[in-house]
Chain A
């Protein structure tokens, strides 16, 4: 079956003073309908750029994005406007993504008005109240302004805006990172309920591995613009293969007392994404770096069904460990 979203060799380079910044470099991902792909990585790894390029909020440098089998990289403005109804985004910071001078009503109405969905005001009002109920916002907030609400409620407005046009695909760009843990859990539960009820497909971008584990069916781990490991969620946590994924998993503080736990700390910091040298981009921080790791790019390879890793030595590393 054709997946809902498929990217082929997607690239986005930004021109900066020092050369070309490789934000997204040759990324191939697929998201089946009704599933969630988690995109994990640290700041600057290109995960947000990937999300925006998939929606064509940013024009790709090269490569293609297919939505329901259709190449949308060449879609015209008019076609794109129709597509926008089907693909939406929820942003990280509900403080800066909502216009402070618009009420909740106007904020949720905006996409519906832009796309001339309803002829009559009464229908519009009904739909807005329905959406508010769907995202768990009490009706009394309908005339409130963003500053009158806390972060959790503001993010619910963000979710309602994304849902207004009845999309099939939503990019969630760190939707819970700005929220307190107890509120974060409420929003995560809401997103999962909405997916069950409406059959939504998510691309869930986050730096928080425990959140991504909770919500995703599959996970793509990104490092400096490239996808270094891509596999089903369970497989990733049971059997991480790329040295970067392993280090990332080991770095998470777990809310449990672990007496004899020794962490593998990775050295150094992320190298520059401006005109990177060919070869594994993690090589300079990797303990297992060998001669073959630099010089030429390392493609993703399927090591077990559905488990893709961009590391030529990952199998030896697994064996060495056991």
Chain B
């Protein structure tokens, strides 16, 4: 398949793995930010192609994982209201709230629908004017422009039975929070290519300079990720803390100006709580005053912080890159995708789910 196979060429992968091995002179710990990258690393066994001295730890970039439990609770509460059609990306449906997930709300009679785009939710609202349509707007900077577009069009087309439950988050503040943590061992980052397609990478330059960490904007295919690792290690080995762009076929330094403009019109930066990580200042987006009437929290009441979940789940440590899934005593035993204790086991982009899915066979070997 074009635009895929050329980034999965076994010979090119083998050669790049060799170049990395030749470049490394001491141990390095890198974090890949995005859950999509984690998924590819674990699926293809890319970490096993690297020298033992290079450790990849998995970052917080799974939008499903970091959505706070109180938003899931609010989503379930709204979905169960009479007359409501609750629209969500498929991934969010299995995320456990305090009293069940959206799928269980659906089985109790809620009209919960999977959409592939927020504009599909808007089309449902237009088609069913007697119903109240609520869209669960979650995700990083990647989903923000399309979600902003839904709000923008709802306003322009005068669709009044549409609102959004917004829990958008931003990557750079989370990277700062991870680096500020005293336990942090991250020496370099593979930044999320699709987030940077929207936002560019200028905003990462101060992070690289302040914390003295190289950051490489990286794609999602095996060769992208290995090249990202190579560039990051080359920067580390030469003591150079700057931002490089591996994913240049998609990312420009300034990003997508049109998308950013739309985001600025519809959303404003706000404080957000991240599931498993906690409150981070200026780490999320909420609707601006001009679009506040589309805010589901205004229509159905504010989301109430229900506090951190107790229990044996260590998803917070996983999301901060401080532990790997197999280090959790519950992994694969009391915590499985059927009976998840935490959200990193639920989402297809969650690190625990990726390990559970791809890594339970012992004795896996490399090239």
Q: Do A and B bind each other?
A: no
Residue numbers of B with Cβ under 8 A of A are: none
Residue numbers of A with Cβ under 8 A of B are: none
